[in-house]
Amino acid sequence: MSQQQLSYSSVDIFLACHNAIAQKVLIQRVSRKDKEFHFQNWFEERLKEATIDYEQQGRNSYPDFTLVETAEGYEVKGLGFPGREADYDCNSQVPIGYHNGRVIYYVFGSYSSAATENEYPVIDLVICHGDFLNADREYVHKNKSFTGFGSYGDLKIRDRKMYIAPTPYGLVRGADRQITLILPEYYGRDSRLEVVGQLTRVEADRLVIGYSFDLTTNQLTPRYQSNPSAGQIHSFIAYRAKGIGGPTVALKNS
């Protein structure tokens, strides 16, 4: 990848989140039925504090927020703790670092899953470039269907692909109870940040290029091909706000 200027918007947003957590700005739950958007609302307030113009097209849009002045998008994922932290369900959109002309960042924040009040703190937070989760920018998600199923042959089977992706908490150690930013190494540096880890992800030897499902045996069978980029290294830097320190961030399999 070519050298690219650091997105100061991503750093501004990260520091706005850092400052809010340090100042104990709480998540506000509107109602008990609000199981998904309370952390998203908290993040939206940080965009406002950083005076960053954004658009939010809808609750089920991707990404959750798009910036107006820079070609960036932010996808927000709230994680209850204790609970499922190592991975998350991607509803019909594989994690990606570039989508519709925009660089995509993912925002993961955890909070107490046992909270009974309508106000509770953010426990920790990671903002990462989408390439850290998945470096493939060529795959285009599409749902397909066909008719002919059932005893009368007039039922449709819809192939609605869902994905399970690792979170940064599942990939690295040193992010728990911390506020961390993970960016590609080829980005420039910002004096407001300090390096707390160097992370290297290596592309796999083979790629899944398809799958089949046997309706009589309920067997799901993937189909592979060799990855032409096998062994390619993607390097990232983990940062925290200047002067904060904390544990080193490293990949769990290193």
Q: What type of residue is 118?
A: N
pLDDT tens digits, one per residue of 13-53: 999 999 999 999 999 887 666 666 899 999 999 999 999 99
Contact predicate 212/221, CB 8 Å: yes
Could you give the 3-state DSSP secondary structure of residue 48?
helix
Could you give the 3-state DSSP secondary structure of residue 73?
strand
Asked if the structure places residue 204 within a domain, the reply is: no
Asked if the structure places residue 215 within a domain, the reply is: no
Asked if the structure places residue 206 within a domain, the reply is: no
61 half-sphere exposure, CB direction, 13 A CA radius: 14
Q: How many domains does the chain have?
A: 1
Asked if the structure places residue 128 within a domain, the reply is: yes
- What pLDDT was estimated at residue 3? 43
Asked if the structure places residue 254 within a domain, the reply is: no
> What domain range includes position 241?
8-198+236-245
Asked if the structure places residue 108 within a domain, the reply is: yes
Asked if the structure places residue 224 within a domain, the reply is: no
Asked if the structure places residue 228 within a domain, the reply is: no
Contact predicate 39/68, CB 8 Å: no
36/234 Cα distance (integer angstroms): 31
Please tell me the pTM assigned to this model.
Answer: 0.92
Could you give the 3-state DSSP secondary structure of residue 114?
coil
Mean pLDDT of residues grouped by 10 in the chain (254 residues)? 63 97 92 74 96 85 93 94 91 90 96 84 97 92 92 91 94 97 94 97 95 94 95 97 96 84
| CA dihedral (140, 230, 103, 175) positive or negative | positive
